[in-house]
């Protein structure tokens, strides 16, 4: 066990969880996780600007469904999490681990509610056809929330469970955020000069993979080898992202999606 793995070195909530001891590598670690985490939050915020944050102000790439109370609640909960995540990252970077620990308790309520509301919002999206990207049926698109929410929800829960193990904690939270970028970037990709055939793979796989590769590179630089959690959790995110487009066109998935969405209604 390294010094950074001991409970005395741990903060109790979000990335990065190790206390700033003034050692140069730790300051570099704060910079890496702080800058990368803010970049991920920015992708999500920009992606949802036309449909949520700046709805009616920023030109929409295509028509959107009206906001329902459930969709509004979903957006507010995830916005609260993004604000909490960003605040926690910079509290630790600023040396305010005392405030960081107290504020982190909010996540134990926020994260489970996010998971429940996220799944419910995804199921409700089947009856809102414009929720899916043009050319993809709502039943097919249901594969995205029903796979992404359990993946990043599990990673967030593991991050909270490992809050006294900063090396594990920060990686779970970082990889969860990389997976949470998928819906945001999926709304940006159609506006970029990307061939239509590559829009879905870019949003589902390529962009999260860039951040996950950055984490692997950081592990090599700081630890001389990738951390086990980095490899396992990153592989899970990439595997789910790669399987979704293959799964959602199958008859088995379409039958399941129709059944589960009908049960929700």
Domain ranges across the chain = 19-264
Name 207's Cβ contacts closer than 8 Å, sequence gap at least 6.
43, 181, 182, 185
Q: For residues 236 and 233, give the distance between their C-alpha atoms in angstroms, rounded to a whole number.
A: 5
Handedness of CA 222, 224, 226, 229 (dihedral sign): negative
In this structure, are residues 158 and 172 in contact, taking their beta carbons and an 8 Å threshold?
A: yes
Q: For residues 243 and 148, give the distance between their C-alpha atoms in angstroms, rounded to a whole number.
A: 12
In this structure, are residues 163 and 11 in contact, taking their beta carbons and an 8 Å threshold?
A: yes
Question: How many CB atoms within 10 Å of residue 245?
Answer: 16
Residue 18 DSSP SS3 = strand
Buried b / exposed e along 11-49 (16+ C-beta atoms within 10 A): bbbbbbbbbbeeeeebeebbebbbebbeebbebbbbbbb
Q: For residues 259 and 33, give the distance between their C-alpha atoms in angstroms, rounded to a whole number.
A: 41
Q: Give pLDDT tens digits along the chain (265 positions).
A: 444 444 433 333 443 333 333 334 456 777 888 888 888 888 888 888 888 888 888 877 777 888 899 999 999 999 999 999 988 888 877 778 788 788 889 999 999 999 999 999 999 988 888 787 777 888 988 998 898 899 999 999 999 999 888 889 889 999 999 988 877 776 776 666 555 555 565 556 777 888 999 999 999 998 889 999 999 999 999 888 888 888 888 999 999 999 998 887 7
Handedness of CA 89, 84, 52, 245 (dihedral sign): positive
pLDDT score, position 4: 44
Give the dihedral of Cα atoms 32, 37, 39, 41; nearest 10 deg: -170
Closest CA to 100 of 109, 90, 91, 108: 91
Q: For residues 111 and 88, give the distance between their C-alpha atoms in angstroms, rounded to a whole number.
A: 15
Whether the model clears a pTM of 0.85, i.e. scores above it, the answer is no
pLDDT score, position 16: 39
Phi first, then psi: what are they for 89, rounded to 5°? -60, -45
pLDDT score, position 26: 55
In this structure, are residues 192 and 33 in contact, taking their beta carbons and an 8 Å threshold?
A: no
pLDDT score, position 17: 38
According to DSSP, the residues that pair with 128 across neighbouring strands are none
Would you mind telling me the total number of residues written for the chain in this entry? 265
Question: How many CB atoms within 10 Å of residue 212?
Answer: 21
pLDDT score, position 189: 65
Helices (H) and strands (E) in the chain, counts: 11, 0
pLDDT score, position 255: 93
């Amino acid at each position: 066990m390294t010094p950074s793995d001991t409970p005395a070195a741990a903060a109790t909530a979000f990335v990065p969880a190790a206390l700033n001891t003034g050692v140069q590598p730790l300051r570099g670690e704060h910079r890496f996780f702080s800058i990368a985490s803010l970049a991920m939050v920015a992708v999500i915020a920009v992606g949802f600007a036309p449909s949520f944050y700046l709805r009616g102000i920023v030109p929409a790439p295509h028509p959107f469904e009206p906001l329902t109370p459930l969709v509004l609640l979903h957006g507010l909960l995830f916005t609260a999490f993004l604000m909490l995540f960003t605040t926690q990252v910079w509290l630790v970077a600023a040396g305010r681990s005392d405030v960081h620990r107290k504020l982190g308790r909010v996540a134990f309520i926020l994260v489970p509610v996010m998971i429940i509301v996220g799944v419910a919002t995804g199921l409700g999206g089947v009856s809102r056809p414009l929720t899916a990207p043009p050319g993809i049926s709502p039943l097919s698109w249901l594969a995205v929330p029903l796979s992404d929410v359990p993946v990043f929800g599990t990673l967030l829960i593991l991050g909270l469970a490992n809050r006294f193990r900063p090396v594990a904690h920060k990686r779970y939270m970082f990889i969860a955020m990389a997976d949470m970028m998928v819906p945001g970037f999926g709304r940006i990709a159609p506006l970029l000069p990307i061939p239509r055939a590559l829009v879905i793979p870019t949003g589902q796989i390529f962009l999260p993979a860039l951040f996950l590769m950055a984490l692997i590179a950081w592990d090599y630089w700081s630890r001389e080898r990738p951390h086990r959690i980095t490899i396992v959790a990153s592989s899970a995110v990439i595997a789910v992202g790669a399987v979704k487009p293959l799964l959602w066109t199958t008859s088995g998935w379409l039958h399941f999606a129709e059944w589960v969405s009908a049960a929700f209604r």
